[in-house]
Amino acid sequence: MTLRLPTTNPRRASREPVVPMINVVFLLLIFFLMTAQIAPPAPFDIALPSSQGDGDEMRATLYVSAAGEIAFGELRGPSALERSARAEAPLRLVADAGLDAAVLARVLGDLAALGATRIELVTEGR
């Protein structure tokens, strides 16, 4: 008695290819990483006051610490005030919540005297 093996291979159930799906996922990941706007870090620790309002946009930003230190990009002190006043309107003012109101009023007055026409105070949303 001789056993005969079948000559034709039974077909396997076809499976969906996963590689194209992985390629699409990686392309989407790269797209979102490349189009994301990442904000530069503040030059010193700042605790923002809280408020409700619109979201954030990338603009010229003047930083004022609780101790009254002023920064605009790489500039510090009076030169930062002068350069920020010449920036495109509106100028974003990021002031520490612990900053004395008199110091904030003096900074705003100095900016107005230097020609700043529109200033937005940045607060922490809730």
Residue ranges per domain, the chain?
50-125
> What pLDDT score was predicted for residue 29?
94
User: What is the Cα–Cα distance from 97 to 26, expressed in whole angstroms?
Assistant: 41
Q: Is residue 93 a contact partner of residue 119, using CB atoms and an 8 Å limit?
A: yes
Question: Smallest Cα–Cα separation from 70: which of 116, 124, 110, 112?
Answer: 110
User: What is the Cα–Cα distance from 65 to 100, expressed in whole angstroms?
Assistant: 10
Higher-pLDDT residue of 41 and 19 is 19
Residue 14 has pLDDT above 80, yes or no: no
Q: What pTM did the predictor assign?
A: 0.55
pLDDT tens digits, 72-97: 988 898 888 899 888 877 889 999 98
Q: Is residue 83 a contact partner of residue 51, using CB atoms and an 8 Å limit?
A: no
Question: Smallest Cα–Cα separation from 65: which of 85, 82, 44, 51?
Answer: 44
Alpha-helical segments (H) within the chain: 19-35, 78-85, 101-113
Torsion of CA 42, 43, 47, 53, to 10 degrees: -30
